[in-house]
Amino acid sequence: MYRITVIPGDGIGVEVMEAALHVLQALEIEFEFTHAEAGNECFRRCGDTLPEETLKLVRKADATLFGAVTTVPGQKSAIITLRRELDLFANLRPVKSLPGVPCLYPDLDFVIVRENTEDLYVGDEEYTPEGAVAKRIITRTASRRISQFAFQYAQKEGMQKVTAVHKANVLKKTDGIFRDEFYKVASEYPQMEANDYYVDATAMYLITQPQEFQTIVTTNLFGDILSDEAAGLIGGLGLAPSANIGEKNALFEPVHGSAPQIAGKNIANPTAMILTTTLMLKHLNKKQEAQKIEKALQKTLMRGIMTPDLGGTASTMEMAEAIKEEIVKGE
C-alpha cells in the first residue's frame, strides 16, 4: 500500500491529474490517494498558495503527484516553496521520443539532471544605483550531491556516460567548483564515461547530435533552459515529465504549467502527467508497472489517439481511457 498525496493545482493541472489517476486505476497496486490543495485557486479560497496542511501531507506521503499551479506575481510560488522546504535537490527530466508523435528526433532517450536548490534561483536580487544585481550561489556540497545523484541514476538505468554542462570558462569560480566536484564524483565511478561541455555548445549539440547524450547533469538555470529545449526535440511540453527528488521526499510533476489559455476545454495533453506517474512508479520500485503504462501509452499514440497539440482529435479523458483499456488488455 502506497500513500500518495495528490495536488492537482490549477488550470490544466486539474485535468491532466484526473486523467493520470484514471490510468493508475488500471494497475494492480494499492494506492491511498490523499488530495491536497495548492496554487492560485487555493489562495483565493484560503489566502495561502501552500497551506501548512498540504506541506504536512507531502512530508508524510511515500510520494506526491503535482499537476500544475498558476503563480501570480507577488504570491509565494507553491512549487518553489515545496522544493525548498523539502530539500528536493534533484530535478530529473527524461527526454524520450514517443512513437507516432510528430517530432524532430524519433529516437532520443536521455535524461537531464538539474540541480534544484541554488544558482540564480535562490532569488537574491537587489537594485543598485546602476541597475540591479543577482547572486549566483554554487556550493561544493550541492554540486557533489547532484553529481552523485546523476551517476547513481545513470548506473541504475544502465547508461554508460554522464556529461556535466557548465560555463566554467567565464564563470571560473562558481562553475569551476561545479565541474571540479563533478570530476571528483566521476572518479568514484571508473566504469562510467564522464565528460563535460560548455552550455552554449550543449545548446547546439542538442539540435545537431542529441543522440550523443545519455545523462546530462547541470546547474539550476542551465538545466531549466536546456530541458525546455530538449522537450522541443521530442514534440513539446505536453509530453515532458519530471521528478523532484530529495533524501526523504519525492514529488512528481509534468514540466508544463497550468496553461490557463487551454484550461477547462478537456483538450490538454495528459501524456506528460501520465509519464510523470511512471517516474513515480519507478521511484517506488514498481518498474514493471511503469513499463505497462509506457507500453499502453505508446500503443495509444500509434493508433493515432492523441490530443490536438499533437495533431489529433482526442480529448484529455478519451486519451486516458484508451490508455487504461490498453493496460487492461495487456500484451
Catalytic residue among 224, 282, 299, 324: 224
- 92-100, 166-174, 211-219, 254-262 -> range binding ligand ATP (CB under 6 A): 254-262
Should residue 269 be labelled a site residue for ligand ATP when binding is judged by CB under 6 A? yes
Residue count at the site for ligand ATP (CB under 6 A)?
Answer: 17
Host H or E run for residue 319: helix 316-329
One residue of 11, 241, 257, 270 binding Mg ion per CB under 5 A: 257
Should residue 254 be labelled a site residue for Mg ion when binding is judged by CB under 5 A? no
Catalytic residue among 121, 197, 282, 299: 121
Q: Of 113 and 268, which CB lies nearer to ligand ATP in the complex structure?
A: 268
The strand pair at 131-134 and 125-128 is best described as antiparallel
CA distance 32 to 15: 20
One residue of 137, 221, 237, 284 binding ligand ATP per CB under 6 A: 237
Q: In this structure, what DSSP letter does residue 75 have? A: S
User: In the annotation, is 183 catalytic?
Assistant: no
Site map (CB under 6 A) of ligand ATP, residues 151-190, x = contact: ----------------------------------------
Site map (CB under 6 A) of ligand ATP, residues 18-57, x = contact: ----------------------------------------
Per CB under 6 A, which of residues 55..84 are in contact with ligand ATP?
68, 70
Question: How far apart, in Å, are the Cα atoms of 128 and each of 74, 122, 134, 135, 146?
Answer: 21, 18, 10, 13, 33
Cβ-defined contacts of 138-145 (< 8 Å, 24+): 138/174, 138/175, 138/177, 138/178, 138/219, 139/177, 140/177, 140/180, 140/181, 142/89, 142/115, 142/117, 142/118, 143/115, 143/177, 143/178, 143/180, 143/181, 143/182, 144/181, 144/184, 144/185, 145/89, 145/90
CA distance 323 to 283: 21
Q: From the list Mg ion, ligand ATP, none, which binds 128 (C-beta under 5 to 8 Å, kind-based)?
A: none
- 94-102, 151-159, 250-258, 318-326 -> range binding ligand ATP (CB under 6 A): 250-258
Q: From the list ligand ATP, Mg ion, none, which binds 70 (C-beta under 5 to 8 Å, kind-based)?
A: ligand ATP
User: In the annotation, is 224 catalytic?
Assistant: yes
User: In the annotation, is 200 catalytic?
Assistant: yes
Cβ-defined contacts of 109-112 (< 8 Å, 24+): 110/210, 110/213, 110/214, 110/215, 110/216, 110/230, 111/153, 111/154, 111/157, 111/159, 111/214, 111/215, 111/216, 112/216, 112/218, 112/223, 112/226, 112/227, 112/230
- 41-49, 114-122, 188-196, 264-272 -> range binding ligand ATP (CB under 6 A): 264-272
- 18-26, 94-102, 254-262, 282-290 -> range binding Mg ion (CB under 5 A): 254-262
Residues annotated as catalytic (active site), given as ranges: 121, 167, 200, 224, 228
Under the rule (CB under 5 A), what is the footprint of Mg ion? 257
Under the rule (CB under 6 A), what is the footprint of ligand ATP? 12, 16, 68, 70, 237-238, 256-262, 268-269, 272, 309
